[in-house]
Amino acid sequence: MLALERRNLILGKLQAEKRVVVSELSQLYNVSEETIRRDLDKLEKEGLAIKSYGGAVINEDVSIDLPFNIRKNQNVTGKQKMAEITASLVHDGDHIFLDASTTAVFVAKALKDKERLTVITNSMEILLELSDVSGWNIISTGGAMKEGYLAFLGSRTEEAIRSYFVDKVIFSCKALDKDWGIMESQEPFGSTKKAMMASGRKKILVIDSTKFDQTAFSVAGNLREVDVVVTDRRPSEKWLRHFEDLGIECRYPA
């Protein structure tokens, strides 16, 4: 097993159990305790874990970006429900943008019974997910691949996005704040979403309930630009009133 694979497994265990013990990890992965300590050192330097006596605990700071393969296994049921609702808003023949979020991967899966879609995406994972779909027009934005995110980002990506105008932009974000709006932890992700929102008719923000009332580093857009918010549970009355004031339709599971 490669060190990176082992660290991702440890991180997944941390996500599930909130803490890990060096001796248990050593036996589980059949490596020395010193090797496990080096793994935990690496995770701590990346801001993903906090070392403690004999092990480590998860860093639950919302501003920390977890690896893509860890994030895509979080809140799977919620993402599936949001994806089903989002898919109901897409019609045969639509032209759509899908961003490089893990939520958008679930949306891509839920869209597979649609016909004649044109999907433009900066996500390598979505390109792979849709590689077996026939009758669709699937377009990659291209650009520079962001290590660990399976996302194309940068000026070339944004230039490609601006060369299209689509029926629907489907995207997620890191955090949502009433004052600051749509937020991302890294500026390149924020600027990519800005380009998408400027190049589409209907904007659909798909975001789970844990991201409400949170902030992140980069402002990706104004909530007033959004037409529909899809989430995994009924938002608070405060947020529902805010959406109503802005003329935003909010959809969530019954």
Per-residue pLDDT reduced to its tens digit, 127-166: 999 999 999 999 999 999 987 788 999 999 999 999 999 9
Q: Please tell me the predicted confidence (pLDDT) of residue 116.
A: 97
Q: Please tell me the predicted confidence (pLDDT) of residue 108.
A: 97
Distance separating alpha carbons of residues 207 and 107, to the nearest angstrom: 12
Q: What's the mean pLDDT in 169-195?
A: 94
Number of H helices, E strands in the chain: 10, 15
Domain contains 121? yes
Q: Please tell me the predicted confidence (pLDDT) of residue 15.
A: 74
Q: Considering 60, 84, 99, which residue would you say is the last residue of a domain? A: 60
Per DSSP, 123 falls in state: B
Task: Kindly tell me if the per-residue pLDDT of 192 is higher than 60.
Answer: yes
144 and 179 belong to one structural domain? yes
Distance separating alpha carbons of residues 67 and 220, to the nearest angstrom: 20
Amino acid at position 228, single letter: V
Q: Which residue has the higher pLDDT, 75 or 219?
A: 219
Domain contains 103? yes
Domain contains 185? yes
Per DSSP, 99 falls in state: -
* Residue 102 burial (CB count, 10 A): 22
Distance separating alpha carbons of residues 105 and 72, to the nearest angstrom: 8
CB 156 within 8 A of CB 191: no
Task: Kindly tell me if the per-residue pLDDT of 69 is higher than 80.
Answer: no
pTM: 0.78
Distance separating alpha carbons of residues 124 and 101, to the nearest angstrom: 11
CB 185 within 8 A of CB 217: yes
109 and 48 belong to one structural domain? no
Going by pLDDT thresholds of 50, 70 and 90, the confidence category of residue 62 is: very low
Q: Which residue has the higher pLDDT, 192 or 75?
A: 192
Domain contains 130? yes
Q: Considering 60, 83, 107, which residue would you say is the last residue of a domain? A: 60
Domain contains 65? no
User: Total domain count for the chain?
Assistant: 2
Q: What are phi and psi of 241, to 5 degrees?
A: -65, -40
16 and 53 belong to one structural domain? yes
Domain carrying residue 117: 70-251
86 and 111 belong to one structural domain? yes
- What's the CATH number where 93 sits? 3.40.50.1360
- Average pLDDT over the chain, rounded to an integer: 91
Domain contains 165? yes
98 and 156 belong to one structural domain? yes
Query: If we measure between CA atoms, which residue out of 130, 121, 171, 170 comes closest to residue 150?
Result: 121
Q: Where are the alpha helices (DSSP H) in 30-154?
A: 33-45, 68-71, 76-87, 102-110, 124-129
Residue bearing tokens 């893509």: 68
Q: Please tell me the predicted confidence (pLDDT) of residue 5.
A: 80
Q: Please tell me the total number of residues recorded for the chain in this structure.
A: 254
Q: Where are the alpha helices (DSSP H) in the chain?
A: 3-17, 22-29, 33-45, 68-71, 76-87, 102-110, 124-129, 155-162, 187-197, 237-246
